[in-house]
Structures are given as C-alpha cells and as structure tokens.
C-alpha cells in the first residue's frame, strides 16, 4: 500500500508519522497519555483534590457550612482515634473486601478453567455469555433477591435448610461476592487463553502431574489476571454502601459513613474518603510487592 | 521535558484550588449569633441574606426541581396519575423533576446548584434555611397558602425569625407499629422498643437516620424528667449524651434499621420484624396486601415524632416565577389531595378534604385532627442555636450524624 | 497439562455449582415477578402475570432503559479508547509517575461512588456545565477506564515483545504492527474489558445521581421506585425482562468479535 523505493524505506504520511514518533519517544508517550491524562487530571482528579482539601477544614456550627477560615487536622484525628467508631469500621470494611476477594477467586478459578480449557471454542462463547448474563439484572434488584434468600424468618434459606445467615456481615459478604464474581471470572478467562498449550504439554513431558503443573506453572502465570480481577472485587466492596443497607442488617462500613456525613459534614466525609484512598494505595502496593504486576 | 508536564499538572490543580478558596467567601458571619429570643421560647437565627421574590412575573418556561419519587407524576408510571402535564399546559413551565432517595441527597443536590426548588423533609429544611441555600417565601404570591392547615404554618422547621421559607405539603407521624398476631398485648409506650428484656429482641426496627435520636430524647423527656428535655430537637450536651446512650443500649434489640418502604414491608410480611417505628402508609400497605398482615399502630403515651414536607425555593433559582406557580399548583386542594393519596400521607391543604375521596383520605391520615397533630413533634434540624430559645448551647446536626455513626458501631 | 476425563468432570461439576450460584438469585427474581403477593412473600402465595401486564403499560422504565443503553455504549467506547491508551503507556514506557497513573486509574472504583459523584458535580457546577447526557458519560467513563485498563494490561504483561520486534524487523511501522500483530492478540482482553465496562455503567446508580439531569437511567428509576414502595412489583418484572432481552445482543457481540481465540 505505501510505495517503497528500492531501499525498502516506506513513504506515505503514515510512515512519516511513524518515523517522527520513533525519533521523539517522549512525544509518543505524551500522545499516549494525553487522552487519559487530560481526562483524569483535569476532570476527575482536580475536583477530587478540591474535595479532599476540604478535609482540612472544620464546620461552622451555626450554618453547618465549611469553615475555611482556618485549617485543622481534627477530622483525621477523629478517623484514627481508638476512642471513636471509625477505625473499627475501616478495619471491618477491609475485612469484608478481603473476604469477598478470596471467595471470588475460589469460585472463579474452576469456572474460568472450564470455560477456557475444557470447552471447545464454540461452547466457550456460550460460557462467556453465561457469565455475563447476570450482570444485566439490576444490582438493586439482585440485592432484594438476596434479601429473599437470606431473610432469617421466612427466606429461601430458612424455609429450605432451616438455617440462614440472616442480615449481617456474613450475608453482606455473600451478596458482594455474588455481585462481583463475573468481574473476577472474565479476566482469568482472558489470562488463561493466553496460556500456550505447548507450555502445558512441555510440563507434562517433563514428568509433571496435573497438580504440580497447576501449582508451579499455571497459577503463577495467572497472577496478573487474578490481580486484575481482585482489584475490582476489593475496590468495589470497599466503597459500597447500598449492599450493606440491603442485607447488612445493622452493619456499618466506610461507605455508610461517607454517605451519611457528606451533606452535613463534607470535611469529615472527605477525611473518610481519604482513608479509603490510603487503603487502596496500600492494597496496590502490596499487590505489586507480591509480583502481581511484574513482566514475566 | 518531564518536569514541565508535571509542573503544568500541578499548576492546573493549584489554580483550581485557588479558585475554590476564593469563591467560597460566602457571607456567613461565623459564630457571633446573638442568643436572643424573639418571642418566648423561639430562637433568633443569624441567616445569610437571600433575596425573596416581591412580585410574581411571567413564567420563565422551565422548572428544575428535586423531589421525592411520587411527588411529581407526569403519567409515565401510571397514565391516570398525572398532575405535571396539566401544570405545564396551564403555566407554560416545562417541568424537569429529579428524584432523590434521601434527604441527604436532596441537600447535596441543592447545595451544588442547578435547581429551582425541592420538596424538603423536616430533617433537611431548617438545615437549608440556616445555610442560606433556600430563599424566604413571599406567601402573598401563593394564593393556595391561605387554605393550608394552620398548625403547619410558621413552625420551627419551615420558618425562621418569623419568616416562612416554604409552602407546607404533606405530613405524617412516626407511629409505633406492631404485628398483632405476634405482639399480642398492644403496646402503649415507647418502652416496647427500648426494653432490654424485650421478648422481641432482634425483631425490632428503628428509623435509619440520626434524626431518630430525637425519638430517644422524647422518650427520656417523660421517663427521666430530671434531664429537663422540653424539645427533642433542642438537646444540650448532657441531654444529647443520655439519648445517645439509650440508643446504644437499644442496638442489640434491633434486627434492621429501616429507610425504605419495600424493605420494611417485606420484613414484616416474612416475620423478621414485628415491632417498631413506622409510617401510616406502610401500615396501610400491609393491611391491604393479599394475604394481609394484621398490623396495628398507636401513638404512645409519650407522644411521637413526625415529618412534614415543605416546598422550598432554592436561593440560586433560575426560574423563581415558575417555582412559585408550581408551589401554588401543588398546594391547591384537588392537586394536594391527588398527591397525598398517591404518596400516602396527610394532605396539608384543607381543600383536600372536601370531596368524598378527600374525606376518606383525611380521616385515614388524621389530616384535620388537631389533637392528633398536637401530639406530634415534627422533624426539625437540630441547630446550635437552641430551638427552645435557651441560647447557643445545643448540639448541632453534624454531631448528631457522628453520634449515629457511633451508635451503629 | 492434558486434562484427564476425571479432571474435566471435576471442573465441570464445580463450574456447574458456581453457575447455579450465579443464576439462583436470578431465578428468585423471575419467580418474584410472578408472585401474587405484592410484598414478595416466600414461598409465593400464588402465580400471576398481572405485574407483567402492568409493566407493559408503564412508559417510565422503557425510557429509562433506552437512556441507560445509550449512556453505557458511549461511556464504554470512551473507556475503551482511553483505557487501552493508558495501558500501553504504562506498559511500554518507564516514566516518573508510572505507578501513580495505575493508582489514579483505580481510584474512581475504589472510592465510594458518592465521593466521585459529588466531586464531579461540584466540578460541573463550577465550570457551568449543565447536567445531562454528557456529564453522565464523563462520570461513567471515569470509572470504566480502569476495567478496560486492568484487563488489557494483564494481557500485555503476558504477551511477548519478541513478536512485535520481529514485525518491526520485517519492515512494518508501528501502526502496521499494531493493526496486524498487537491488536488481534489483545482483542479478547479488550472485549472482556468492554463488556465489563458496559455492565458497570449500565448498573451504576450512585455517581449517576449526582451527574445526571432530570432524565433517568434504569438503575435510578429502579431505586426511586423501590425506595418509596410504589412500583416494587414492576421492578422485578423489569429486571427479569432486561436479563432475558439481553441474551440476544450479548450473544451477537460475542459472535461478531469471535470470542475465544484459544491457546495455541
């Protein structure tokens, strides 16, 4: 398509553009980053920073509005104070998010394996569709369905098995794990598809039995995919407050606090939001340390 | 090269931050409010000046309001339920109604701007008044106002410093509801939900909002008279701490806190909740469903809290004339009746009780029963300036919210 | 790893169990949509189609559904473009702030939706952008980017740079290499990301509250109606109907993009 001279050098504007970018790698980087960068920095980050800065202020007790006349660390003191309820809520929320992630990994692995490695390509499509379908039922309606399942007096579990986790932290973890499961399955399927069968054959040739191959070859190679999925399940659980209102009983999490405080006490809500950011940052750092993001 | 990009990013954020600091110089005179009392027992608030409309002009052709679901029906949910299209035809104001799920959402939306008004519940209305987010209402420009029940006019949640800030809409009481087949002896006191030895432990419910602290205060006002609580929304630190302690002790009794009808209705139907504070509309729904649940409700001897919604005009309203026209429309007898019966509340307008349907509605909801409404302590945002005129010693709402966080644990 | 019949059977059983878990609650929703008890008593007091008939006459949810689909489509396209670009940038180049970018991209999902919602609302208000379609899309795309980004970068990290070098050695310019070598390998990851992003946007309710105008998306419609108890029965119908209706489009999309390139 592009005319070439005898030396094999391409002409044409596309080729010229390509050469230009070759010679200016930083510009290439900039053009890659400018789209997402502009979006994130200006539209989202700017407004987020403004909001978080508010956490350094207090409230005017009379008008209930933010008092920008002086800065204070009081909000953060309240968040981390062991006398207050907030530290316990943060720890609880982290526990819930971690529990949901572990459950989702355990549930997703066999299903992802089945879809990616056992099913033929035609049936694989069915499999992926089957995993995606539940996502179209509204989150809220699914929450109400789980209420019907979990109701301690007359729900499905109670009526069928005579016992039910009821409305509380257990029920909440079950609902959240249910909601985010497809977000864990699909990345693992995508990751498994990249696993060359030749690698697995080589391992078998070298004498490795299935379990060994699984443990030493497959799972380590799946770590980036599992990490990608876990970032969703962990983060989505960390920030949620609607699910807790539906099946959490009297449980209260980070999201509940932010939700209830944001219109009356924006500075404090911003401080709690900052706490979420710290937790997520720690999670990502931990995942990186465990090699989740390494090139292999 | 790298550093240039970084510094541009920081500069952008910095400029935005500076802009924020500059524009927030709202005229709130901080904390120097006089503790004066205008009339006996009524406080004087130091409210930022917001202009009010002095004469009604032509409609601006558009109206942006924030409402509860069911307050601005235009026939899409049910073709027979529509009071928006007739309004649009009459006034030429095209209505864009945004529904919100909670008072907090409504307050956030109004404060962020872009709306002409809202249907504020009592736990939000005073907040908006003292914050300068809503404008005083010139009731002379709203003809329907004359027909509003008198006990809803110039009340602590919809007025300040003797000035009305809205047009009353509907109201209801937070009654004590119980499942007759489980709770065989009819309760007559709120002690039923506070008793640590209750046989219904784990199956009791309470309203999921910090304003519920007032219910505890109301109970204590009769059972612990030494605390000298006269107004459950005007609590000094000692009274407040006692109320919070009572709720912390109540928490083990609570199965779920409720904030949406459906959850509540389902829970009572399945039996996971048998007793607790509720609304008339929920009781009606339970007794009307197939098969019905035999519930009954009572206003206990200590009295009850209640709520009353008010239509308010946003201080940044771009279409104030249309907003006034809307308020006049929806407060008029026949329309008020339609909304109140669709939503399930007592109508504010006397004109809603005139025809046969209206008479039933008003009887069901005690709409013109003065004795009933007198026993209700309507939701009002607690402010630092005590609502009973004691001065600036009361606990403001932001602290109620944090106390509620602590109660939930 | 040649899977024995036993291993395949084991995987099939476990997968079956997980699928039962996935679809059980959906079955409950479907049954509830036929439950003659308006309060959703269990077991159902009787079966009736009256809620389905009622939903048919209700225009509110069909409007909301159309709007949601449009928003999700546009937000997904935007997220696909930006997420892929971002993952390339982070994967290919070592630059200061690389880790920070990964962190920033995850932030919209990690924070409670209400924080993102209010932050964006204030920004729109300050910049005098009126709330409507554009603002919802901006809000949704912000957290959809991470879904695409995570999937694509996980794939990139598993891909070998050798093939691309080989392509360059053979004389292809970067655009050709991308079109013929890189993109096909990434296709399924991008598709997975796009589908998840679409689902996330379609189902989102909190950020939407603060970034939308008067026109409602489907989740907002559902939340409003369920909260105040007016249309609960219709809500179950709507949810069931949407799941059933979506079988065809999802299948078609999968088919068109040939999901499942398989390991080699």
DSSP assignment of B361-392: HHHHHTTT-HHHHHTEEE-----SS-TTSS-S
Task: Please tell me which of the candidates B28, B256, B271 has its beta carbon nearest to residue A60.
Answer: B28
The position carrying tokens 């940044």 is: B316
B397 has a pLDDT exceeding 60: yes
Question: Does B264 contact chain A (CB < 8 Å)?
Answer: no
SS (HEC) of C176-219? HHHHHHHHHHHHHHHHHHHHHHHHHHHCCCHHHHHHCCCCCCHH
What pLDDT score does B331 carry?
A: 95
**pLDDT above 90: percentage of residues in chain A:** 36
CB contact under 8 A, A151 and C42: yes
On whether the CB atoms of residues B300 and B194 are closer than 8 A, the answer is no
On whether the CB atoms of residues A108 and A184 are closer than 8 A, the answer is yes
B33 has a pLDDT exceeding 50: no
A155 shares its domain with A207: yes
Mean pLDDT of C139-162: 82
DSSP codes of every residue in C99-111: HHHHHHHHHHHHS
Q: Which helix (H) or strand (E) covers residue A237, if one does?
A: helix A219-239
The burial class, CB within 10 Å (0-12 / 13-18 / 19+), for A156 is buried
Q: Which two tokens stand for residue B350?
A: 């006397």
- Convert the pLDDT of each residue in C43-59 to its tens digit: 888 888 888 888 887 77
- Please name which of A147, B181, A243, A178 lies closest in space to residue C39, comparing C-alpha atoms: A147
- The boundaries of the domain holding residue A20 are 13-54
Residue B208 banded pLDDT, cuts 50, 70, 90: very high
CB contact under 8 A, C175 and A18: yes
A33 shares its domain with A102: no
CA distance B66 to B62: 14
CA distance B308 to B381: 12
Is A260 contained in some domain? yes
DSSP state of C129: P
Side-chain half-sphere exposure of B57, counting CA atoms within 13 A: 7
Chains near B with 3+ CB pairs less than 8 A apart are: A, C
Q: Which two tokens stand for residue C58?
A: 């209700």
B244 has a pLDDT exceeding 60: yes
Q: Which two tokens stand for residue A155?
A: 């729900």
| Highest averaged pLDDT of the listed ranges A21-30, A233-242, B221-230 | B221-230
A167 shares its domain with A21: no
- Phi then psi dihedrals of residue B349, to 5 deg: -90, 135
B107 has a pLDDT exceeding 80: yes
CA distance B267 to C228: 15
Mean residue pLDDT of chain C comes to 81
The neighbour count for residue B180, using CB atoms within 10 Å, is: 12
Q: Which two tokens stand for residue B147?
A: 């027909």
CA distance B79 to B89: 16
CA distance B403 to B409: 10
CATH of the domain at A141: 1.10.3720.10
**pLDDT above 70: percentage of residues in chain A:** 85
- Please name which of A277, B69, A44 lies closest in space to residue C211, comparing C-alpha atoms: A44
Is A290 contained in some domain? yes
What pLDDT score does B254 carry?
A: 96
Higher pLDDT, C35 or C17: C17
Is A72 contained in some domain? no
Interfacial residues of B (vs C; Cβ cutoff 8 Å): 2, 6, 19-20, 23, 64, 68-70, 76-79, 96-101, 105, 108-109, 112-114, 260-262, 265-266, 269-270, 281-282, 285-286, 289-291, 293, 343
A81 has a pLDDT exceeding 90: yes
CA B337 to chain centre: 19
Side-chain half-sphere exposure of B43, counting CA atoms within 13 A: 27
Higher pLDDT, B48 or C110: B48
Interfacial residues of C (vs B; Cβ cutoff 8 Å): 36-42, 45, 57-60, 63, 95-97, 118, 121-122, 125-126, 130-131, 209-210, 212-214, 216, 220, 223-232
CA distance A160 to C91: 51
CATH H superfamily, domain B62-171+307-378: Periplasmic binding protein-like II (3.40.190.10)
Q: Which two tokens stand for residue C254?
A: 């999968």
A174 has a pLDDT exceeding 80: yes
Is residue B37 helix, strand or coil?
strand
A198 shares its domain with A271: yes
Chain B residues in contact with A261 (beta carbon < 8 A): 398, 401-402, 405
For the ranges A105-109, C72-76, C180-184, which has the lowest average pLDDT? C180-184
CATH class of the domain comprising B172-305+393-408: alpha beta
CB contact under 8 A, C151 and A214: no
- Phi then psi dihedrals of residue B33, to 5 deg: -65, 140
A47 shares its domain with A186: no
Is A123 contained in some domain? yes
Q: Which two tokens stand for residue B11?
A: 């500069």
A171 has a pLDDT exceeding 80: yes
What pLDDT score does A3 carry?
A: 46
On whether the CB atoms of residues C97 and B6 are closer than 8 A, the answer is yes
A130 shares its domain with A266: yes
- Convert the pLDDT of each residue in B340-356 to its tens digit: 998 889 999 999 999 88
- As annotated, the residues of chain B forming the CATH 3.40.190.10 domain(s) are 62-171+307-378, 172-305+393-408
A108 shares its domain with A211: yes
A33 shares its domain with A99: no
Predicted ipTM of the assembly: 0.82
Chain B residues in contact with C98 (beta carbon < 8 A): none
Mean pLDDT of C129-153: 86
What pLDDT score does C54 carry?
A: 83
What pLDDT score does A32 carry?
A: 63
Residue B39 banded pLDDT, cuts 50, 70, 90: very low
> What strands lie across the sheet with B275-278, from one edge to the other?
B254-258, B204-207, B275-278, B175-179, B295-298
Is residue B16 helix, strand or coil?
helix
Judged by CB atoms within 8 Å, which residues 272-311 of B form the interface with A? 272
A262 has a pLDDT exceeding 90: no
Task: Please tell me which of the candidates A135, A187, A197 has its beta carbon nearest to residue C263.
Answer: A197
The neighbour count for residue B58, using CB atoms within 10 Å, is: 10
A44 shares its domain with A150: no
CA C119 to chain centre: 22
Q: Give the CA angle between residues A126, A130, A135 to the nearest 5°.
A: 140
Rounded to a whole number, what is the distance in Å from the CA of B320 to chain C's nearest CA? 18
CA C173 to chain centre: 34
Rounded to a whole number, what is the distance in Å from the CA of B281 to chain C's nearest CA? 10
- Convert the pLDDT of each residue in A3-44 to its tens digit: 444 445 556 777 777 776 666 666 666 666 666 667 666 777
**pLDDT above 70: percentage of residues in chain B:** 90
Side-chain half-sphere exposure of A267, counting CA atoms within 13 A: 24
Strand pairing category for A57-59 and A66-71: antiparallel
The burial class, CB within 10 Å (0-12 / 13-18 / 19+), for B31 is middle
pTM score? 0.85
- Convert the pLDDT of each residue in B74-101 to its tens digit: 887 778 889 999 999 999 999 999 888 7
CA distance A245 to A253: 10
Is residue A67 helix, strand or coil?
strand
Mean residue pLDDT of chain A comes to 84
* Count of domains observed in chain A: 2
A296 has a pLDDT exceeding 50: no
Residue B325 banded pLDDT, cuts 50, 70, 90: very high
Is A209 contained in some domain? yes
The neighbour count for residue C169, using CB atoms within 10 Å, is: 8
CB contact under 8 A, C255 and A191: no
| Highest averaged pLDDT of the listed ranges A286-290, B58-62, C233-237 | B58-62
Residue B27 banded pLDDT, cuts 50, 70, 90: very low
A106 shares its domain with A155: yes
Rounded to a whole number, what is the distance in Å from the CA of A223 to chain B's nearest CA? 32
What pLDDT score does C195 carry?
A: 86
The burial class, CB within 10 Å (0-12 / 13-18 / 19+), for A11 is exposed
A22 shares its domain with A130: no
The neighbour count for residue C130, using CB atoms within 10 Å, is: 11
Task: Please tell me which of the candidates C18, C153, C242 has its beta carbon nearest to residue A136.
Answer: C242
Q: Residue C30's closest chain A neighbor by CA?
A: A145
CA distance B385 to B382: 8
On whether the CB atoms of residues A178 and A150 are closer than 8 A, the answer is no
The position carrying tokens 């369905």 is: A145
Task: Please tell me which of the candidates B97, B282, B343 has its beta carbon nearest to residue C214.
Answer: B97
Residue C4 banded pLDDT, cuts 50, 70, 90: confident
Task: Please tell me which of the candidates A159, A187, A293 has its beta carbon nearest to residue C192.
Answer: A187
What pLDDT score does B37 carry?
A: 33
Chain A residues in contact with C119 (beta carbon < 8 A): 44, 47-48, 50-51
CB contact under 8 A, C112 and A242: no
CA distance C211 to C219: 14
Chain C residues in contact with B265 (beta carbon < 8 A): 39, 229
Is A273 contained in some domain? yes
The neighbour count for residue A219, using CB atoms within 10 Å, is: 12
Convert A73-105 to b/e letters by CB count within 10 Å (16 or more is b): ebbbebbeeeeebbeebbebbbebbbbbbebbb
For the ranges A31-35, A199-203, B210-214, B312-316, which has the lowest average pLDDT? A31-35
- Convert the pLDDT of each residue in B363-380 to its tens digit: 989 998 888 888 899 999
A168 shares its domain with A35: no
Q: Residue B2's closest chain C neighbor by CA?
A: C96
What pLDDT score does A157 carry?
A: 93
Best residue of B121, B266, B316 to probe chain C, by most C CBs closer than 10 Å = B266
Residue A90 banded pLDDT, cuts 50, 70, 90: very high
Q: How far is CA C230 from CA A182, B68, C234, in A?
A: 31, 12, 9
B213 has a pLDDT exceeding 60: yes
Q: Which two tokens stand for residue B189?
A: 């006191």
β-partners of residue C214 are none
Is A28 contained in some domain? yes
Residue C256 banded pLDDT, cuts 50, 70, 90: low
Mean pLDDT of A151-157: 91
């Amino acid at each position: 398509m592009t005319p070439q001279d005898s030396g094999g050098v391409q002409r044409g504007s596309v080729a010229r553009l390509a050469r230009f970018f070759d010679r200016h790698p930083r510009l290439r980087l900039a053009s890659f980053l400018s789209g997402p960068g502009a979006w994130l920095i200006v539209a989202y980050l700017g407004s987020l920073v403004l909001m978080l800065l508010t956490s350094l202020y207090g409230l005017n007790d009379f008008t209930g509005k933010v008092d920008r006349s002086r800065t204070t660390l009081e909000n953060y003191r309240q968040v981390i104070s062991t006398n207050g309820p907030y530290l316990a809520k943060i720890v609880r929320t982290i526990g819930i998010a971690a529990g949901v992630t572990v459950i989702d990994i355990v549930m997703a692995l066999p299903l992802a394996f089945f879809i990616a490695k056992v099913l033929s390509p035609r049936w694989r499509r069915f499999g992926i569709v089957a995993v995606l379908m539940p996502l179209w039922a509204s989150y809220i309606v699914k929450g109400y369905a789980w209420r019907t399942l979990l109701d301690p007096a007359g729900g499905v579990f109670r009526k069928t098995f005579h016992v039910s986790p009821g409305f509380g932290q257990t029920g909440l973890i079950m609902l959240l794990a249910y909601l985010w499961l497809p977000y864990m399955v699909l990345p693992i399927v995508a990751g498994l598809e990249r696993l060359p069968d030749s690698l697995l054959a080589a391992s078998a040739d070298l004498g490795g039995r299935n379990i060994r191959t699984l443990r030493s070859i497959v799972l380590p190679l799946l770590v980036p995919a599992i990490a990608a999925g876990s970032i969703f399940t962990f983060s989505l659980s960390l920030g949620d407050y609607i699910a807790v209102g539906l099946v959490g009983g009297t449980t209260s999490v980070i999201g509940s606090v932010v939700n209830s405080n944001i219109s009356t006490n924006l500075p404090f809500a911003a401080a709690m939001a900052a706490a979420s950011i710290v937790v997520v940052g720690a999670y990502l750092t931990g995942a990186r340390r465990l090699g989740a993001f390494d090139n292999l | 090269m790298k550093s240039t990009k970084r510094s541009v990013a920081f500069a952008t954020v910095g400029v935005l931050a500076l802009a924020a600091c500059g524009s927030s110089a709202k005229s709130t005179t901080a904390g120097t409010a006089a503790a004066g009392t205008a009339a006996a027992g009524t406080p004087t608030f130091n409210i930022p000046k917001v202009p009010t409309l002095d004469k009604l002009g032509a409609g601006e052709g558009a109206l942006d309001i924030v409402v509860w679901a069911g307050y601005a029906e235009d026939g899409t949910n049910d073709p027979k339920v529509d009071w928006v299209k007739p309004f649009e035809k009459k006034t030429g104001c095209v209505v864009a109604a945004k529904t919100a799920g909670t008072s907090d959402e409504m307050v956030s939306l109004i404060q962020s701007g872009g709306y002409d008004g809202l249907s504020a519940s009592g736990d939000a209305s005073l907040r908006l008044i003292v914050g300068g987010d809503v404008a005083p209402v010139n009731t002379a420009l709203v003809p329907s106002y004359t027909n509003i029940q008198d006990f809803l006019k110039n009340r602590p949640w919809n007025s300040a410093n003797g000035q009305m800030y809205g047009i009353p809409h509907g109201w209801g009481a937070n009654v004590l509801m119980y499942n007759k087949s489980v709770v065989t002896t009819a309760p007559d006191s709120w002690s039923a939900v506070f008793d640590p030895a209750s046989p219904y432990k784990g199956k009791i419910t309470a309203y999921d909002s910090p304003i519920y602290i007032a219910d505890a205060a109301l109970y204590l006002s009769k059972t612990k008279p030494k605390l000298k609580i006269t107004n459950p929304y005007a609590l000094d630190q000692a009274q407040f701490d006692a109320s919070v302690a009572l709720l912390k002790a109540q928490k083990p009794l609570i199965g779920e806190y409720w904030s949406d009808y459906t959850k509540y209705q389902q829970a009572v139907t399945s039996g996971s909740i048998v007793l607790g504070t509720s609304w008339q509309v929920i009781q009606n729904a339970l007794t009307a469903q197939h098969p019905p649940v035999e519930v009954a409700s009572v206003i206990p001897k200590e009295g009850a809290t209640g709520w009353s919604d008010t239509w308010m005009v946003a201080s940044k309203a771009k279409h104030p004339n249309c907003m006034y026209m809307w308020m006049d429309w929806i407060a008029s007898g026949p329309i008020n009746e339609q909304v109140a019966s669709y939503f399930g509340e007592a109508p504010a307008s006397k004109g809603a009780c005139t025809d046969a349907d209206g008479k039933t509605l008003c009887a069901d909801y005690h709409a013109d029963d003065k004795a009933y409404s007198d026993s209700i302590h309507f939701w009002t945002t607690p402010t630092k300036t005590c609502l009973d005129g004691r001065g600036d010693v009361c606990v403001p709402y932001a602290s109620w919210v944090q106390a509620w966080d602590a109660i939930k644990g | 790893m040649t899977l024995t019949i036993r291993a395949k059977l084991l995987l099939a059983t476990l997968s079956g169990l997980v699928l039962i878990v996935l679809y059980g609650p959906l079955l409950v929703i479907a049954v509830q949509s036929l439950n003659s008890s308006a309060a959703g008593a269990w077991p159902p007091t009787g079966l009736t189609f009256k809620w389905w008939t009622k939903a048919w006459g209700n225009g509110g949810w069909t409007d909301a559904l159309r709007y949601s689909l449009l928003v999700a489509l546009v937000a997904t396209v935007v997220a696909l473009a930006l997420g892929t670009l971002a993952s390339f940038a982070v994967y290919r180049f070592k630059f200061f702030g690389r880790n920070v970018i990964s962190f920033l991209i995850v932030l919209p999902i990690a924070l409670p939706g209400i924080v993102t919602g209010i932050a964006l609302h204030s920004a729109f208000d300050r910049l005098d952008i009126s709330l409507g379609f554009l603002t919802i899309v901006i809000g949704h795309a912000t957290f959809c980017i991470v879904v695409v980004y995570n999937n694509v970068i996980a794939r990139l990290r598993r891909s070998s740079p050798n093939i691309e070098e080989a392509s360059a050695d053979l004389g292809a310019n970067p655009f050709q290499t991308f079109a013929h070598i890189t993109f096909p390998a990434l296709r399924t990851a991008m598709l997975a990301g796009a589908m998840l992003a679409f689902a996330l946007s379609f189902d989102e309710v909190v950020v939407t509250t603060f970034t939308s105008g008067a026109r409602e998306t489907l989740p907002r419609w559902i939340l409003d109606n369920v909260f105040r108890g007016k249309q609960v029965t219709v809500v179950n119908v709507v949810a069931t109907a949407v799941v059933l209706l979506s079988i065809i489009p999802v299948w078609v999309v999968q088919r068109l993009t040939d999901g499942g390139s398989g390991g080699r």
